[in-house]
Amino acid sequence: EIVLTQSPGTLSLSPGERATLSCRASQSVSSSSLAWYQQKPGQAPRLLIYGASSRATGIPDRFSGSGSGTDFTLTISRLEPEDFAVYYCQQYGSSPPYTFGQGTKLEIK
Amino acid sequence: EVQLVESGGGLVQPGRSLRLSCAASGFTFDDYAMHWVRQAPGKGLEWVSGISWNSGSIGYADSVKGRFTISRDNAKNSLDLQMNSLRAEDTALYYCAKDMSFAVTTGVFNYWGQGTLVTVSS
């Protein structure tokens, strides 16, 4: 099973700043099969990025993903107030189980 | 508009059973794999189980293998999760999630329901 470790656990930034979230895998994620989700309190997760760098339908272009192998990054270029949430990475490259990272909480500074 | 509505959650004693259901609408249900993902209170996400569009391929997390059974009824646009021998650590919000790709199980979840809460306690 591939273990995903996200860092930092909590990121405190102000609106307008750039956010960089990291996701490291315990072994190489095949075919860059890495997704990112956003979850706000009391809501279901929302798919942001799949294939490490492809934005899901309707996701603003301030969200971007990069990386391959074992190191992946989610970047939010200019934080909007609605971006403060918990972010999860997920790998789906190998056959199940599909695994998630433990999450990064992005909070307002 | 894609809609996934879970039901069947509740309070159940350890060792007992519960059956969750997910009613799907707004898309061609039998074209897509479906999954259950859970979230313990205050914790992260855990994939529980997935089923291909034609039920030909099924997978489970090790934590539920042998206790949970996923199934689908394409005629009724519904997904089920039969949970047996429940444990306290199964306490979570259970989400139904749609796979992203047509006729292929990718493990990417592009639509989620709002979840149904399962509490296992005596």
Rg of the Cα atoms in chain B:
13
Closest by CA to A97, choosing from B58, B19, B78, is B58
pLDDT for res B93: 98
B14 CB neighbour count, 10 Å cutoff: 13
pLDDT for res A48: 98
Mean pLDDT of all residues in B103-109: 91
Q: Is A37 on the interface with B (CB under 8 A)?
A: yes
Closest chain B residue by Cα to residue A86: B44
Q: How is residue A79 written in tokens?
A: 């934080």
Closest by CA to A87, choosing from A3, A28, A4, A2, is A4
pLDDT for res B119: 98
Q: Is B50 on the interface with A (CB under 8 A)?
A: yes
Provide the pairing of β-strand A10-13 with A104-108. parallel
Q: Do A100 and B59 touch (CB under 8 A)?
A: no
Q: What is the pLDDT along chain A (109 residues), one digit of tens a residue?
A: 899 999 999 999 999 999 999 999 999 998 889 999 999 999 999 999 999 999 999 999 999 999 999 999 999 999 999 999 999 999 998 778 899 999 999 999 9
pLDDT for res B91: 98
d(CA A77, CA A87): 15
Q: How is residue B8 written in tokens?
A: 């069947």
Give yes or no for residue B20 having a pLDDT over 80. yes
Q: Do B47 and A102 touch (CB under 8 A)?
A: no
pLDDT tens string B1-18: 999 999 999 999 999 999
